[in-house]
Structure formats: C-alpha cells, structure tokens
C-alpha cells in the first residue's frame, strides 16, 4: 500500500510538469502557429532555429515527464504481474495433484469398464460357441440316426424282395414239376402262376411305393425340423446381437454424458476466468481513473497547500515561522514545482 501511495504521489508531482508546459503552450501557439520563416535568409534561418528550439525544449521535457510518470506505473504493473504469477503458481501447485488424482481415478474406472465389457463379450461369445456346437452335435446325431434307420429299412426291403424272389422261384419249380407230372394241367398252371406272379409283383410294387412315400414324408418332416431349428438359432442370434447393440449404445450414451459434463466444466472454468479478467480490467480502469483524478487534483491541492502555508506564515509570529512543519510544507511545494 505504501509503494502504491508513494507511486501515486510521485506521479502527481510529475504530472504537475504537464501543467507548467501547458501554461506556456498557448503563447507558443500564438507566436509560431502558421508562421512561414524566410529560411532562405540568414536572419530567417536563425529565427526558425530559435523557434524550433523554443518548441523542442518543452516537448523534450514533456516526453521526459511522461517517461518518469509512467515508470512507477510500469513498475507497479510488473509487481502486480509478478505477484499474480506467484499466487497462480502456488494455486496450480495445489490444483494439479488434485487434478491428476481425479484423472487417474477416471482412467482407472474407464479401464475397469472396458475390461468388464471385454469379459462380458468373451462370455457371450463362449456361450454362443457352446450353443452352436451343441446344436451341431444334435443335428449330426439326428442325421446319423436317420441314416441308420434308412439303411435298416433298405436292408429289410431287400430281404423281403429276396424272400419274394425265392418264393417265386419255388413256385416256378413247383409249377414245372406239376407240368411234367400233369401235361393237361400245364396251361392252367402256367396261367395261374403268371397271374399269381403278376399279383405278387403288383403287391410288391405297391408295398415299395408305400415305403418310398413313407421315407419321403419322414425326410420332409426331418428337413422341416432342421429348418425350424435353424430359424430358432437365427432368432436367438439376432436377439443376442440386439442386446449387444443395446449395451454398446448404453456405453456410448454414458460416454456422451461424461464428455458433456467435461465440456460444461471447461465452459464454467472459462466463464470464471473471464469474470476474473473482467474484475482485473475493472480494477485497472479504477486505478487509471484514480490516477487521472490525482493528476487533475494535483494543481488544486498544490495551490491550496501554498495558500495554507501563506496564511500560517502570515498569522504566526516571526519566531515561529521556522517550525519543522512549515519547513516540510515549503519543501514539498518546492519539490512539486521544480
């Protein structure tokens, strides 16, 4: 606070120089503004050089006062920046470890979530593989049983045909023996044998057709069962894929919510930073306004101080005119006007 007060006092004293220069500026403007010097002549050149010197001297003085008056302000600004940087560094030193802990915990939770998702995917894949293997085993077993049944039926049919053929051969042998024994009955026996053979063949064909129809119906039923099993497996696969998609969408939604929260936090931090910047700008504007008020009030305060000293000296006896307070006041006036 003392440094700031001293800087303001020093600035007020420096700015008083502006008033001194400005007081003589009107005379310079009236004397030299718009004047065309006859610089082609020796006298005119001398007058122009003198006029330039008369304008340059207060200009150089104003520039020097400007630099001297700004020096405390610049020093104060550097002091403010240095202190703000120091405070900021201490705050960052507190904030960064906490931020690191938060980020480490978030990363750990994210890794755990990813590991749980991976384990769940592997578990579902193992279940699906086991179910598929079981269905394939059942289908293979069903095919094996069906093939064995068809083979047994074909063997039985072949056996029946062999028996029928043996019976037919025996019948033919019997007919031949009877033909040799009874020539008269040969024609009738042949007719009966032919009719019997034809009937037997027709019956055999009928039975064979019935068997073929039965095998075709059983094969169609088996194929229908296989189609139903495949449809059920496809429906189950689609259900698992839908569940997997739902889980992935839920994970994506959680991630979107987390990113939105992070963005909101960043926006809030930016807003607070802007509020702080606005506050600093307002404080700087207030400081500039205070400096401007000091600059404007400095001549008035100096005149008031002169008047006060004059009144005190006038009213005090001559032996008290050398009081330390009056000496200090006169010194302050002299320092402000020199």
Q: Name, of 103-117, 221-235, 321-335, the range with top average pLDDT.
A: 103-117
For residue 122, the model assigns a pLDDT of 93
Token code pair at residue 275 = 């509020």
Residue 319 pLDDT greater than 60, yes or no: no
Identify which of 161, 7, 115, 149 has the alpha carbon closest to the alpha carbon of residue 69: 7
Burial class, 17, CB count within 10 angstroms (exposed 0-12 / middle 13-18 / buried 19+): buried
For residue 199, the model assigns a pLDDT of 84
For residue 116, the model assigns a pLDDT of 93
Residue 335 pLDDT greater than 70, yes or no: no
Question: Mean pLDDT over residues 128-139, rounded?
Answer: 89
For residue 114, the model assigns a pLDDT of 94
Residue 307 pLDDT greater than 80, yes or no: no
Let me know how many helices (H) and strands (E) the chain has, helices first. 4, 0
For residue 161, the model assigns a pLDDT of 83
The pLDDT tens digits of the residues spanning 245-263 come to: 887 788 788 888 888 888 8
The pLDDT tens digits of the residues spanning 175-218 come to: 678 888 878 877 787 888 688 878 888 887 888 788 888 888 88
- Residue 107 exposure: Cα atoms within 13 Å on the Cβ side: 6
- Of 64-78, 147-161, 188-202, 323-337, minimum mean pLDDT range: 323-337
DSSP state of 183: S
Mean pLDDT taken over the chain: 81
The pLDDT tens digits of the residues spanning 101-122 come to: 999 999 999 999 999 999 999 9
Residue 304 pLDDT greater than 70, yes or no: no
Token code pair at residue 306 = 């002169």
Question: Mean pLDDT over residues 148-173, rounded?
Answer: 82
For residue 169, the model assigns a pLDDT of 80
Residue 127 pLDDT greater than 90, yes or no: yes
């Amino acid at each position: 606070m003392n440094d700031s007060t001293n800087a303001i006092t020093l600035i007020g004293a420096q700015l008083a120089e502006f008033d001194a220069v400005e007081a003589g500026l009107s005379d310079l403007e009236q004397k030299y503004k718009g004047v065309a010097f006859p610089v082609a002549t020796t006298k005119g050149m001398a007058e122009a050089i003198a006029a330039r010197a008369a304008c340059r001297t207060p200009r150089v003085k104003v520039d020097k006062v400007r630099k001297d008056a700004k020096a405390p302000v610049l020093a104060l600004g550097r002091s403010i920046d240095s202190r703000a940087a120091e405070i900021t560094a201490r705050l960052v030193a507190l904030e960064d470890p906490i931020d690191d802990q938060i980020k480490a915990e978030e990363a750990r939770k994210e890794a755990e979530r990813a590991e749980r998702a991976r384990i769940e995917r592997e578990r579902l894949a193992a279940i699906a593989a086991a179910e598929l293997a079981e269905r394939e085993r059942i289908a293979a077993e069903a095919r094996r049983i069906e093939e064995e049944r068809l083979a047994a039926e074909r063997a039985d049919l072949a056996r029946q045909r062999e028996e029928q053929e043996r019976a037919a051969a025996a019948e033919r042998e019997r007919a031949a023996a009877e033909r040799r024994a009874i020539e008269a009955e040969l024609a009738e026996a042949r007719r009966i044998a032919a009719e019997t053979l034809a009937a037997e063949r027709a019956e055999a064909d009928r039975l064979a057709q019935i068997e073929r129809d039965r095998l075709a119906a059983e094969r169609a039923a088996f194929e229908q069962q296989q189609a139903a099993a495949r449809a059920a497996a496809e429906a189950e696969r689609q259900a698992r894929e839908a569940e997997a998609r739902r889980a992935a969408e839920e994970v994506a939604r959680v991630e979107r919510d987390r990113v939105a929260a992070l963005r909101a936090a960043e926006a809030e931090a930016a807003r607070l930073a802007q509020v702080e910047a606005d506050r600093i700008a307002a404080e700087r504007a207030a400081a500039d306004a205070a400096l401007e008020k000091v600059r404007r009030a400095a001549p008035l305060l100096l005149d008031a101080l002169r008047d006060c000293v004059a009144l005190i000296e006038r009213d005090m006896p001559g032996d008290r005119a050398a009081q330390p307070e009056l000496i200090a006041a006169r010194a302050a006036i002299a320092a402000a006007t020199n």
